[in-house]
Amino acid sequence: MPNYTYLIIGGGMTADAAVHGIREIDRSGTIGLIGAEPHPPYNRPPLSKGLWKNQRLESIWRKSDDLGVTLHLGRRAKHLDPRNKQVTDDQGSVHAFGKLLLATGVTPRRLPFGAEQIIYFRTLDDYQRLRVLTEGGRRFAIIGGGFIGSEIAAALTMNAREVVMAFPDAGICSRVFPSDAVKFLNDLYRRKGVEVLAGASAERHPGKRLPAQQPPGHLRRGGRGQLSQPRPGPVAACRTRGQCQHHGPHGRPGDGG
């Protein structure tokens, strides 16, 4: 059973920052990290920005494994025993610790339909899957009008793909920006060719099974009836909370050109 001076549960940017912080004050203490993804910590912002503009994939790695960290990747912590200072992961391995940090982040809410036809865009694997789909797909639906949704819409538009955005709010990033800015963003995205469906939600077709090549739901605006069904293509469900820093469909903040 490994016994770490510091054990971190989570493999994201917060976990990596913690590793660097520990090493600033303790260069010899052992550090273990349990992460659900199969990858070591990496920068997430490029998944919806730079990687769509020819940034090299190798540039996203945060290189925490160079700091003497033992990485347990592709695993999830299942049981915490605080009295004995032990964590058991989903493979049955037990990890003892002196100090423990929970840095697991969040997981997106999932729709009750769609299964593998929907990408809940959050990870490197999600980015790579969407990249592959853009090689053959022409039209994409994005559910969510926050930071990630607007970034992915911009990225797909830059790559000459048709995009429809659907979200229940009044406009893009409306939970953060004032109404005038939200209207500007809605108009900007529409000028760039994005079909913006504000006040819309995704619902399952009642009593029907859609053809395999169709997205498994329809878009509905404010209870007033069914909107146009997107043509064949995947759906990316993008939702986030917190500050929304907007970049226009051509990658520059507030760019209307």
pLDDT higher than 50, residue 106: yes
| Torsion over CA: 93, 99, 101, 102 (sign) | positive
Q: For strands 3-9 and 31-35, give the pairing.
A: parallel
pLDDT higher than 60, residue 208: no
Q: What is the arithmetic mean of pLDDT over 108-117?
A: 78
Q: Which residues, 6 or more positions from 73, have their beta carbon under 8 angstroms from its beta carbon? A: 11, 35, 37, 38, 39, 40
Q: What is the arithmetic mean of pLDDT over 136-163?
A: 93
Q: What is the arithmetic mean of pLDDT over 146-150?
A: 92
34, containing H or E segment:
strand 31-35
pLDDT higher than 90, residue 89: yes
Q: What is the arithmetic mean of pLDDT over 54-68?
A: 91
pLDDT higher than 60, residue 23: yes
pLDDT higher than 70, residue 79: yes
Name the region of 115 (left: φ>0; alpha: ψ -120 to 50; beta: rest): left
What is the pTM (predicted TM-score) of this model? Answer: 0.78
What single DSSP character describes residue 42?
B
| CB environment 236-252: b (16+ within 10 A), e (fewer) | bbbbbeeebebbbbeee
pLDDT higher than 60, residue 222: no
Share of the chain above pLDDT 70, in %: 79
Cα distance from N-terminal residue to C-terminal residue, the chain: 59
Q: For residue 238, what pLDDT is reported?
A: 59
Q: Could you count the other beta carbons within 10 Å of the beta carbon of residue 133?
A: 16
Phi, psi of 35 (to 5 degrees): -130, 140
Q: For residue 104, what pLDDT is reported?
A: 92
Measured distance CA(182)–CA(104) in Å, rounded: 32
| Torsion over CA: 121, 122, 123, 127 (sign) | positive
Q: What is the arithmetic mean of pLDDT over 28-32?
A: 97
Q: What is the arithmetic mean of pLDDT over 71-80?
A: 97
Share of the chain above pLDDT 90, in %: 68
Q: For residue 63, what pLDDT is reported?
A: 87
Superfamily for domain range 3-102? FAD/NAD(P)-binding domain (3.50.50.60)
pLDDT higher than 80, residue 224: no
pLDDT higher than 70, residue 223: no
For the chain, the C-alpha Rg in angstroms (whole number) is 21
Token pair, residue 208, equals 């029907």
pLDDT category, 45, cuts 50, 70, 90? Answer: very high
Q: Where in the chain is the domain with CATH 3.50.50.60?
A: 3-102, 115-237
Question: What CATH topology corresponds to 115-237?
Answer: FAD/NAD(P)-binding domain (3.50.50)
Q: For residue 257, what pLDDT is reported?
A: 27
- Average pLDDT in the chain: 82
pLDDT higher than 90, residue 76: yes
Q: Which residues, 6 or more positions from 252, have their beta carbon under 8 angstroms from its beta carbon? A: none
Q: Do the Cβ atoms of 87 and 34 come closer than 8 Å?
A: yes
Measured distance CA(40)–CA(90) in Å, rounded: 18
Q: Do the Cβ atoms of 163 and 157 come closer than 8 Å?
A: yes
